[in-house]
Chain A
Amino acid sequence: MSLSRDKLYEFLQEKALSDTAIEEETPLFSSSLIDSFALVDLILFIEQSCGVKIAPFDVNLDNFDSVAKILQFVESRANPSSTSS
């Protein structure tokens, strides 16, 4: 199972509080474009799409505050060795 970029954009656009077009680096939660309720939905969406369970310490805006960060985070969970530092 995986998370497609198109599905992610579609999900986020539906949760956005305004019609602002969401770009790759658009701040989502820190800009209040999307509220904290939707962060729960986003994480569940990722867990269900990817078949993973996200650890409590991973729930932070560094991982979820933009499309780029979300995709990077998902990629790191799918291939842990590729992004380990």
Chain B
Amino acid sequence: MPTAHKQPGIAIVGFPRSGTTLLRRLLDAHPQIDAPGETYLLSSCARFLETRRVVDGVQVGALSGVSMLGVEEQEILGRLRRLVTEIRGARAAMIGKRRWVEKTAIDAFHLDAIAKVFGDELQFVAMIRHGADVCMSTQEWCAQAESYPRELHRYVQQYLQPLVAFAHAWVDSIASLERFRERRGDAVHLVRYEELVTEPTSVLRELFEFLGESWDDEIVARGLDPQKIDGFGDWKAYERVSIDANSVGRWRTLSQGTLRQLGEILNPTLERLGYEPLNTSGSDDPAETLRRYQLGLLARSAMAAKKRDE
């Protein structure tokens, strides 16, 4: 029997489109865990701590501003922490549950600030997925939302090609997550998306052990109940009614030119995480690149013609 964790809060963190929503739904199926849709509470706390550097290196923001009035930083952080834990604790109690999960896609970009506010009050579950699959899915996610999250927009401003922008963002996010794991050690449990969708039972058993919660064999079925819609989620949040590995390895369908380009950015991180690197071999001959472009136009025309004929 696992030992119950003394703190009720759990945070799922991971780059958007890494499977965090699937995991949230599965945790929500536990009789003692409330894991609803996205609340933005943690990232809002992180944004509350944002500062701006001005003259002579002074950092201006809420913490420094209020501390100049004689209010201690720890007092402010404690109030922020209580705001979130009280709201979420009350909601969990309202539906008869003891623990609660926070999962918002952009939380992964604010790990240091979230840790600063919550200290040891949260158990962290970090989700990772092959970076190239993440980039493809993020591109679709942003197109569907008709916007970029602010945390990704600065990358899109810097890099003209969205997939390249997301690749750089993913690399930075993973580096931040690795530093976070080094500092927090046992408080962070790593889940790989690819393992979750191929071996859900063993991955979830291990996760519930880490959380100090019991396991039952009906959790997966309950977690994927399509009728249980609870809070904000992206367009795919409630689409999945079974666990399968269809979304694993979609990156293999990218063109060789794109694989080469993304591989140069992603491969060191992919290899460090034990993922298959992208094939960066092949020609970067300008004539072949031009031929590829020409064929791209012809291929799209051919696909459109086929659709018109149907």
Contact = CB atoms under 8 A, between A and B. Distances in A.
Interface in A12-26: 14-15, 17-18
Given A30-B310, A40-B292, A40-B295, 13 more contacts: A17-B250, A17-B253, A37-B254, A37-B258, A37-B299, A38-B253, A40-B296, A40-B299, A41-B256, A43-B295, A44-B295, A59-B302, A61-B302
Contacts, number: 59
B95 interface: no
B291 interface: yes
Interface in B56-75: none
Interface string A60-84: 1100110000000000000000000
Chain B interface category by residue count: 20 to 34
B300 interface: yes
Nearest to A61: B306
Given A40-B292, A44-B291, A34 B253 contact: yes
A60 B295 CA distance: 11
Contacts of B253: 15, 17, 34-35, 37-38
B164 to A, nearest CB: 16
A18 B302 contact: no
B303 interface: yes
Interface of A: 14-15, 17-18, 29-30, 34-41, 43-44, 56, 59-61, 64-65
A39 B299 contact: yes
Q: Which of B258, B292, B296, B298 has the most CB of A within 10 A?
A: B298
A38 B251 CA distance: 11
B302 A39 contact: yes
B207 to A, nearest CB: 27
B246 interface: yes
Interface of B, helix, strand, loop or mixed by DSSP: helix
Contact of B299 (A17, A18, A30, A43): A43
A64 B301 CA distance: 14
A36 B117 CA distance: 47
15 contacts: A15-B252, A17-B250, A18-B246, A29-B302, A37-B299, A39-B295, A40-B255, A44-B256, A44-B291, A44-B292, A44-B295, A56-B294, A59-B295, A59-B298, A60-B302
A40 B259 CA distance: 14
Contact of B306 (A15, A17, A30): A30
Nearest to A59: B298
Contact of B303 (A17, A39, A43, A44): A39
Contacts of B54: none
The 4 closest A-B pairs by CB, nearest first: A59-B298, A39-B299, A40-B295, A61-B306
